């Protein structure tokens, strides 16, 4: 479970998160929507300690992420992260890319790491691409490779930071399908997304961010069917 209390984050004098309270129980798929600059990505970075925080707390499975002495590497193994831009190693094949972290970070044998990599590449639909270099993959395939790399660490939570935003429209669907599959398998997921169909169809809950606060959080039916806050109503009417 992820428990966030009174989280505040500043960049210089700019307060980006203004007291976030949020519980994400295991098995939940939470989508985060909201205007550009409302703090959605920053929240993900604060959850996996890519950014420091100024006040409040983030607790993952009882581990206080920002407390002194917390083993950040152990924590990050629980939290898989997929960014907007894929970040594969260009000189390694897809199989080598995915096998790297289990071998280096988790200390698994080369053979076991390759087995994990093969399994996860199959999982994301890249079972026929083991020996291909990332440059020969489409954007959608590269992003699925990034998902496979995250999954190879056997995380308990997956954080998606606009995983499809950099893709050509025709490649978005295959990445969303992979995310949908993970959701169906019971993965706990927090997805910052501009894909309202994903938020509506796949999420258990949707959080609407406005200027650093969660202004509304509810089921997709409520968020999209009966939005209460004026800002959310405006946000939805602008994108429809």
Ligand X SMILES: Nc1ncnc2c1ncn2[C@@H]1O[C@H](COP(=O)(O)OP(=O)(O)OP(=O)(O)O)[C@@H](O)[C@H]1O
Contact residues for ligand X, defined by CB under 6 A: 11, 16, 34, 36-42
Question: Least distance in Å: CB of 40 to ligand X?
Answer: 4
Question: Least distance in Å: CB of 16 to ligand X?
Answer: 4
Question: Least distance in Å: CB of 235 to ligand X?
Answer: 12
Question: Least distance in Å: CB of 99 to ligand X?
Answer: 31
Residue number with CB closer to ligand X (16 or 171): 16
* Cα 155 to Cα 170: distance, rounded to the nearest angstrom: 29
* Cα 119 to Cα 92: distance, rounded to the nearest angstrom: 17
R_g of the chain computed on alpha carbons: 18
Residue number with CB closer to ligand X (96 or 193): 193
Sheet holding 63-64, edge to edge: 14-24, 2-11, 55-60, 63-64
Residue 161 and residue 81 in contact, taking contact as beta carbons nearer than 8 Å: yes
CB atoms within 10 A of CB 231: 18
Residue number with CB closer to ligand X (38 or 113): 38
Torsion of CA 33, 34, 37, 42, to 10 degrees: -30
Residue number with CB closer to ligand X (135 or 237): 237
17 φ/ψ angles, rounded to the nearest 5 degrees = -120, 125
Question: Least distance in Å: CB of 17 to ligand X?
Answer: 8
Residue number with CB closer to ligand X (34 or 220): 34
């Amino acid at each position: 479970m992820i428990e966030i209390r009174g989280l505040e984050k500043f960049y210089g004098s700019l307060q980006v998160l203004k007291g976030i309270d949020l519980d994400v129980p295991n098995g939940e798929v939470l989508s985060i929507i909201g205007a550009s600059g409302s703090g959605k990505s920053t929240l993900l970075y604060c959850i996996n300690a890519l950014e420091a925080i100024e006040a409040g707390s983030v607790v993952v499975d009882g581990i206080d992420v920002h407390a002194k002495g917390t083993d950040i590497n152990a924590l990050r193994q629980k939290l898989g992260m997929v960014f907007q831009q894929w970040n594969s190693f260009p000189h390694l094949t897809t199989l080598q890319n995915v096998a790297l972290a289990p071998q280096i970070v988790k200390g698994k044998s080369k053979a076991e790491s390759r087995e994990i990599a093969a399994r996860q590449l199959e999982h994301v639909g890249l079972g026929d691409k083991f020996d291909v270099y990332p440059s020969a993959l489409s954007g959608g395939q590269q992003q699925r490779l990034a998902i496979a790399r995250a999954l190879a660490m056997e995380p308990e939570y997956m954080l998606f930071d606009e995983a499809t935003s950099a893709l050509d429209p025709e490649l978005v669907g295959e990445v969303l399908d992979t995310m949908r599959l993970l959701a169906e398998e019971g993965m706990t997921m927090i997805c910052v997304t501009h894909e309202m169909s994903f938020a509506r169809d796949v999420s258990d809950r949707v959080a609407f961010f406005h200027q650093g606060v969660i202004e509304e959080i509810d089921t997709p039916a409520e968020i999209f069917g009966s939005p209460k806050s004026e800002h959310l109503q405006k946000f939805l009417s602008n994108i429809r």
